[in-house]
Amino acid sequence: MSSLQELSQAVAEAIFLGSDSRVKVNQLASAVRAPPAEIRQALRRLKNLGYPFVLREDLIERRPLQTIDSPGLRADPSSRKIGRKVEWRLHIGSTQDELKRIEREAEDGTVLLAETQDSGRGRLARNWFSPLGGIWMSVLLRPAQPASHQLLTLSFGVAVTRAIFGVTGVSGLLKWPNDVMIRSRKVAGILAESTYDGTKLKHLIVGIGVNVNIRPTLFPERLRRSATSLSQELGREIDRDLLTRRMLEEMDSTYQTFESGRINELLEEVRRICSTVGRRVRVTTVEGNFEGQARNVGDDGRLLVRLRNGRTVSVYAADVVHLR
């Protein structure tokens, strides 16, 4: 195996997609051509992601694993674009990278879902913790509408909040540019990565991660104050199949609105639930840091921040912290 990530993927598939509920470490090592010590290292990584198995000396015993019903999603005839084609993986490095890998064969609106990610990422190359129980997906878009794709990404955040409210009754807010928050704690994030052919957009891949049924103790210590999950907020597990389907429906509707040129409708929704507007903020860009008051979201999705000297700056790509 060329990397621990690839080894973890192979081990997860051998244990949970194989026919045997029990497998010995040495047999697994032989099957995937890796030393037993590296197999045990991969097992520790999978255990930290919540995979249900027991390791007794040399014997691995798997427990039942509930996955998202991807065949059911594929069979949904209501989708016009997003969700018409759904790919599923058990454990991979990143849904973003996997969708990039198959981009040439993927049609507009293709969705790639994974049960866990080894190297999920958020903005500014930050790691995104992606254990069992969440919804981790990426969507390939080939928009013809030349309007701001920053606004499309923000609108996908709105679509996620609508889906969450529709399924759970929990109201989320959008923190510019890409976080969905519940009681000031992150429950979901959106990451868009674009590829251009010269000055023309070739495709946009939007990654969405939602903390659905994740136990608080499963979060790393560094995330326990800033992150939450829907099950933690409600005290019960959420139907991930239902929420995934609702997310695809809401995103599909958003994409159709965007492509039809009804940009003002999307902008109105973004402004309505953006908790950043009206707040004092600290903004970090590649040029440096500054503080000011977030006044509005511009027509192109940029954040308009009024500085202490009265000047208003337009921010496109930045890290934003809400100040008390």
H or E element, residue 89 = strand 86-92
Task: Give pLDDT, residue 54.
Answer: 97
Nearest 5°: the CA angle 150, 188, 275 is 65
DSSP 20: -
Task: Give pLDDT, residue 120.
Answer: 54
Nearest Cα neighbor of 210 from 306, 82, 113 is 113
Task: Give pLDDT, residue 304.
Answer: 96
| CA-based torsion, 178, 182, 186, 187: positive or negative | negative
Do 70-273 and 280-322 fold alike per CATH?
Answer: no
pLDDT in tens, 304-320: 999 999 999 999 888 89
Q: What one-character-per-residue DSSP string does 101-149 give?
A: HTGGGPPTT-EEEEEEESS-B-GGG-B--B-TTSEEEEEEE-----S-H
- Cβ-Cβ contacts under 8 Å for 324 (sequence gap 6 or more): none
Domain 280-322 belongs in CATH node 3.40.50.300: no
Task: Give pLDDT, residue 271.
Answer: 97
**Which residues in the chain show pLDDT less than 50?**
1, 124-125
To the nearest 10°, report the CA torsion of 270, 271, 272, 278: 140
pLDDT in tens, 146-183: 778 889 999 999 999 999 999 999 999 999 999 999 99
Task: Give pLDDT, residue 128.
Answer: 65
- Fold category of 4-62 in CATH: Arc Repressor Mutant, subunit A (1.10.10)
Correct CATH for 70-273 of 3.30.540.10, 3.40.50.10090, 3.50.50.60, 3.30.930.10: 3.30.930.10
Task: Give pLDDT, residue 1.
Answer: 44
- Find the length of the chain: 324
Domain ranges of the chain: 4-62, 70-273, 280-322
